[in-house]
Chains A and B, each alone.
Chain A
Amino acid sequence: MNKISKYLSIIIPIILLIALAINILKYYTSFSDNKNIVKDSNSYQEKININNKKNEELVTEINKIKTEKEDKIWEYERWIKWNQEIKEKIN
C-alpha cells in the first residue's frame, strides 16, 4: 500500500500538471485565434462600409442619369421588347 500511495502521490500531480499545461496552451491558442477572428471581422466590416458608401454614390449617380436620360431608357426598353417579339416569331 505504501508503495502504491507513494507512486500515486507522484503520478497524480504530474498528470494534473500536464493537464494544466494543455489547458493553458489551449486557452492561449484560442485567445490568439479569437483575436485574429475579431481582427478579420473588423476588417470585413470596414470593407463592407466602404462598399456601402460606394454603392450609395453609384445609386445617386444612376438615379441622376435615369432622370436625365429617361427618354433614352424608354426607347431602349421598347427596342428590347420589339426585338424579343420578332425573335419569338422567328423561332
Chain B
Amino acid sequence: MDKMESRNKRKNKLVNFLNISLIILLIVANIYFIKLNINIDKKRNLNINELNSQKNNFNTSETKTKELEKELTHLKNIDEEINEIKNEYFENLKAFEDKVSNKEVDYKIAYLTFDDGPYYLTHKYLEVLEKYNVRATFFTIGLDKESCYDNRSKSCKELYAKTAKYGHTMANHTYSHQIFYGLYSSTNSFINNVKKQEKLIKDRTGITTNIVRFPGGIASAGSLRNSIVKELKNLGYGWVDWTASNGDGGFVASKQDAMNNLKKTINEDIEVILFHDYSNITLSILPDVIEYLQNKNYVLLPLFYESKMINK
C-alpha cells in the first residue's frame, strides 16, 4: 500500500509539474505572439499610411496628366481656338452694339478707321493704339506700297501682317484708290480693284476681308453707285462711309484745329470716325482723341461685318 501511495504521489507531482510547465509555455507563447501582433500592427498602420499617401500622389499625378494633356490639345488646336474665340468676340460685339443702340447701357461706341495705308507712320499708329488697348479698322490700299511712299522705313508688306496680328480689322479701300484715274470709270473697274486688294490682303495676312470703303466716299461713285453696291453684295461685301472726322483727308492747319474738327462731328451714340494713317497731325493727337472719346463714355472698337454701321 505504501508503495502504491508513493507511486501515486510521484505521479501526481509529475502531472502537476507538466501542467505548470505547459501553462508557463502557453503564457510565454501568448506573450510572444501578442508582441508580434503589436509589431505587425504598427508596421501595417505605417504601410496603410504610406499606401494612402501614394493613392493621393497617384490621383495628383493623374490630375496633372489630364491638365497637361488638355494644355497640349489646346496648343495643338490653337488656330481653331483663336477662330472660335474671335467668333464669340464678334457675336458679343454685336450684342453690345445692339444694347448701345437701344440705350440699354450707358456706353457709346466709336469705330476708329484709318484710310489709305499702310504708311511708314502706321508703325507709330499701331504703337499708340497698342498702348491704349484700342483696336481700330484699317482701310488699306495696295498700289505703291513696296516702300510706303518713302525709303526710310521697312517695306509696307510687313505692316499688313502686323496690323492684323495686333487685332485690328483689315478692310478694303480698293487696290489703286485712283479716284481721278479710272477707279470709277466702270463698275468692273471698281470691282476689279476691290478683288485685287482682297487678294493682296489675303496673301499678306491670311485674312479674307468683307468690308469696303469707297475712296472719297460712296458719293464719289456717282451714277455707278447702285450697280457697284449690287456687285459688292454679290461678293459678300458690306460698305461703310463715316459719320465723323478731324478733316485730315484735306488740309488741317494745326493739332488744335484737328481736335476741334473732330469734336464738332462727335454727336451720336455710335460713330464711325475717319482718319488717315499718313497724317502726322492725327498721329500727334491720337492719344488725346482716345482719351477725349473714352471720357465721353465711348468704347473704341474695330468694325465687323455684322455691325449695323455696315451697309449690306
Interface residues of A (CB under 8 A from B): 9, 12-13, 16-17, 19-20, 23-24, 26-27, 30-31, 33-34, 37-38, 40-41, 44-45, 47-48, 51-52, 54-55, 58-59, 61-62, 65-66, 69, 71-73, 75-76, 78-80, 82-83, 86-87, 89-90
Q: Which residues of A contact B64 (CB under 8 A)?
A: 51, 55
Chain A residues within 8 Å of B40, by CB: 27, 30-31, 34
Do residues B44 and A33 form an inter-chain contact, with CB atoms below 8 A? Answer: yes
- The docked-state distance in angstroms from the alpha carbon of A17 to that of B30 is 9
Question: What B residues does A78 contact at CB under 8 A?
Answer: 167
For the complex, count residues of B whose C-beta is within 8 A of A.
54
Residue in A23, A31, A47, A83 whose beta carbon sits within 8 Å of that of B58 in the complex: A47
Q: Quick check: is B41 within 8 A (CB to CB) of the other chain?
A: yes
Cβ-based interface call for B292 (8 A): no
Additional 18 contacts, C-beta under 8 A, given A79-B86, A80-B85, A89-B96: A13-B26, A23-B36, A37-B44, A44-B57, A54-B65, A62-B71, A66-B75, A69-B78, A71-B165, A73-B78, A76-B82, A79-B82, A79-B89, A82-B135, A86-B92, A89-B299, A90-B92, A90-B99
List residues of chain B with CB within 8 A of the CB of A37: 44, 47-48, 51
In the complex, how many angstroms separate the beta carbon of A36 from the nearest chain B beta carbon? Answer: 10
CB-CB nearest in chain B for A57: B68
Residues of A within 8 A of B99 (CB): 90
Evaluate whether A52 and B61 lie within 8 angstroms (CB atoms) in the complex, with A16-B27, A30-B40, A79-B85 already known. yes
What residues of B have a CB within 8 angstroms of the CB of A73 in the complex?
75, 78
Residue on A nearest B27 in the bound complex, by CB:
A16
Check B72 for interface membership: any CB of A closer than 8 A: yes
Docked-complex contact B54 and A41, CB < 8 angstroms: yes
Q: Which of B27, B34, B44, B58 contacts A48 (CB 8 A)?
A: B58
- A83's contact among B30, B33, B78, B92, by CB below 8 Å, is which? B92
B47, B71, B95: the one within 8 Å of A90 (CB): B95
Interface 1/0 per residue, B8-33 and A, CB below 8 Å: 00000000100100110011011001
- A34 near B47 (CB under 8 angstroms)? yes
Q: Which residues of A contact B47 (CB under 8 A)?
A: 34, 37-38, 41
Query: What number of A-B contacts does a CB cutoff of 8 Å give?
Result: 130
| CB–CB B34/A23 < 8 A | yes
Contact A55:B61 (CB < 8 A) given known A62-B71, A78-B167: yes
- Interchain CA distance A51-B69 in the complex, whole Å: 12
In the assembled complex, the Cα of A72 lies from the Cα of B135 at a distance in Å of 18
Which B residues have a C-beta under 8 Å from some C-beta of A?
A: 16, 19, 22-23, 26-27, 29-30, 33-34, 36-37, 40-41, 43-44, 47-48, 50-51, 54-55, 57-58, 61-62, 64-65, 68-69, 71-72, 75-76, 78-79, 81-82, 85-86, 88-89, 92-93, 95-96, 99, 105, 107, 135, 165, 167, 299, 301
The binding surface of chain B is classed by DSSP as helix
Which residues of chain A have C-beta atoms less than 8 A from B51's C-beta?
Answer: 37, 40-41, 44
- By Cβ-Cβ distance, the 4 closest A-B pairs, closest first, are A16-B26, A23-B33, A51-B61, A58-B68
Q: How far is the CB of A42 from chain B (nearest CB, A)?
A: 9
Residue from the list A16, A19, A65 in contact with B72, Cβ < 8 A:
A65
Known contacts A34-B40, A55-B68; decide if A75 and B82 are in contact (CB<8 Å).
yes
> Measured between alpha carbons, how far is A47 from B61 in the docked complex, in Å?
9
A34 to B47, alpha carbons, bound, how many Å? 7
B36 to chain A: which residues have CB within 8 Å? 23, 27
Complex Cα gap A90–B92 (Å): 8
